[in-house]
Amino acid sequence: MKTIFKKVISKFVEGLLMMSGTVTTLAVLFIVFYLFKESLGLFNMTPVEDSYSVLVNKNNPVKKLSAQQIKLVFDQEITNWKQLGGNDAEIELFRTEDISNYYSEDEIGKNFEHLAQRINEHIEKHRGIIAFVASEYEMKNAASVPLSVDKITLLELMKGKEWFPTAQPAAQFGVLPLLMGTLLVSLGAILLALPFGIAAAIYLAEIADTRFRNIAKPLIELLAGIPSVVFGFFGLVVIVPMVQQWFNLPVGETALAGSIVLGIMALPTIITVSEDALHNTPRSMKEASLALGANKWQTILRVVIPYSISGITTAVILGIGRAIGETMAVLMVTGNAAVIPHSILQPVRTIPATIAAELGEAPLEDYILKHCSF
C-alpha cells in the first residue's frame, strides 16, 4: 500500500515538473513569436501618420518621395522640385492652418465646411505646392494628388541617422543613433568596470587578509542590490556635475557619465561572481605552483585565473548584460539626445532608455510601439 502511494506521489511530481517545464517553454516561445509578429508589422506601414495625407498639384511630375526627403522638404533644406527630380520650381509648403493666410473666414466657412474645397483651389493655383493636410480634406478627382511615401524598410531602419518618431508629416525611424549610443555607453562601462572589477576580485580572493574579505564581500554584494534609480540619482547629482567640471562642458549629461554610472553598477556583479570563482581555486593548485618556484603573481596569472576563467567569463557576461540592458540610470544621466555621438563627451540615448521614455506616448498599434518591440 505504502509503495503504491509513494509511486503515485512520485508520478504526480514528475508530471507536475514536466507540465511546468512545457508551459514555461511555450510561454517563452509565444512571447518571442509575439514580439516578432508585432515588430514585422512596422515594415508594412508608411511613415505618414494615419488619416493624414501629403498632397501635391496634379501636374507635378513627382509622385513618390521617401520619408527622409519629405522631412528635408518640410525643414526647408530642399527648396526646389528640381532637387527631387521634378520641374524647376520653388517648393511651397502648406499646412492646413495656413489656409487662413489665403482665404477669409467667410470663404472657409464658419464650421470649416468649405475648407476641403478651398484647399483644393489653393493647390490648383500653386504648382509647386506640397500640402500636409488631414485626409478628410482631400478631394477625389481634384486638382491635388496624394504623394505616395515609401514604406519603412529594414535598411532604412538600420542606416537611418535620425530618430524622430513624432516628426510630421513623415516620422523618421533611423535606429543608428540609438544603437551607437547604446554601444558607446556599454563599451565605456565595460572598459571601466572590467579592469577594476577583476582587479578587485583578485585582491579580495588572493591578497587581502581573510578578515578584510569577510567584511568587504557582503558590502559589495549589498551594492549589487541597490535599485538602478538610486544609482541614476547618484549619477545625476554627483557624476554629472563632476564630468561637466572635469572636461569643462556646457552639460555634464554625456555618454561618459552614463558609462561611469553603469560601470559602478556592473562592478559588484563582476567582483562577487569572479571572486567566488577565484576563491574556489583548489589550494593544492596554488601550492603546486608555488612549490615550483613561481611567485604569487605568476601563480595568480598562470594558475588561478586560468582555473577560474569560466567563472570570470560568467561574471563578465552578467556585468555586460546589466550594462547593455540598464534603463533607468542611463536615462537619467546621458542627456537623451538621439544623435549619432562623435565623442564620449556628447549626450546620447540608448535603446532601453528610448523604450522607457517613449512607450508612454506611443498609442497601441503605433509605429513607436512596433518599433520598440522590434
Partner 1 sequence: MEKQFKDKESIEDVMQMQEPSKQNRTVKIESRNMELYYGEFHALKGINIAIKTNSVAALIGPSGCGKSTFLRSLNRMNDLIDGVKISGQVLIDGKDIYNSKALRIEELRKKVGMVFQKPNPFPKSIFENVAYGLRVNGISHKSFIEERVERSLKQAALWDEVKDKLKKSAFELSGGQQQRLCIARALAIEPSVLLMDEPASALDPISTAKIEELIYELKSDYTIVIVTHNMQQAGRVSDMTAFFYLGELVEYDSTKKIFTNPEDLRTQNYITGRFG
In the complex, which residues of this chain contact partner 1 (CB under 8 A)? 209-210, 282, 284-295, 298, 302-303, 306-307
Interacting residues of 8 by C-beta distance below 8 A, sequence separation 6+: none
Q: Which is nearer to partner 1, 217 or 286 (CB)?
A: 286
Name the 3-class secondary structure at 106: helix
Interacting residues of 298 by C-beta distance below 8 A, sequence separation 6+: 289
Note if the bond before 227 is cis, omega within 30 degrees.
no
What's the closest the beta carbon of residue 313 comes to partner 1, in angstroms? 15
DSSP state of 65: E
Query: CA distances (Å), 365 to each of 135, 155, 160, 370, in order?
Result: 19, 22, 22, 7
What's the closest the beta carbon of residue 308 comes to partner 1, in angstroms? 10
Q: Which is nearer to partner 1, 226 or 292 (CB)?
A: 292
Q: What distance in Å separates the CA atoms of residue 305 and residue 301, rounded to the nearest whole number?
A: 6
DSSP string across 205-254:
IIIS-HHHHHHHHHHHHHHHTS-HHHHHHHIIIIIHHHHHHHHT-S---S
What's the closest the beta carbon of residue 291 comes to partner 1, in angstroms? 4
What's the closest the beta carbon of residue 312 comes to partner 1, in angstroms? 14
What's the closest the beta carbon of residue 302 comes to partner 1, in angstroms? 7
Burial of residue 253 (CB within 10 Å: 0-12, 13-18, 19+) is buried
Q: What distance in Å separates the CA atoms of residue 41 and residue 370, rounded to the nearest whole number?
A: 7
Q: What distance in Å separates the CA atoms of residue 372 and residue 165, rounded to the nearest whole number?
A: 11
Q: Where are the alpha helices (DSSP H) in the chain?
A: 2-40, 67-74, 99-102, 105-108, 115-125, 154-159, 176-202, 210-224, 228-234, 240-247, 255-279, 283-291, 296-299, 305-307, 309-325, 328-333, 351-358, 367-373
Q: Which is nearer to partner 1, 290 or 318 (CB)?
A: 290
Q: Which is nearer to partner 1, 50 or 209 (CB)?
A: 209
Q: Which is nearer to partner 1, 110 or 211 (CB)?
A: 211
What's the closest the beta carbon of residue 316 comes to partner 1, in angstroms? 19
129 forms beta bridges with 92
Name the 3-class secondary structure at 318: helix
What's the closest the beta carbon of residue 194 comes to partner 1, in angstroms? 23
Q: Which is nearer to partner 1, 97 or 209 (CB)?
A: 209
What's the closest the beta carbon of residue 204 comes to partner 1, in angstroms? 16
Q: What distance in Å separates the CA atoms of residue 94 and residue 178, rounded to the nearest whole number?
A: 32
Q: Which is nearer to partner 1, 105 or 209 (CB)?
A: 209
Q: Which is nearer to partner 1, 289 or 327 (CB)?
A: 289
Q: Which is nearer to partner 1, 230 or 292 (CB)?
A: 292
What's the closest the beta carbon of residue 272 comes to partner 1, in angstroms? 23
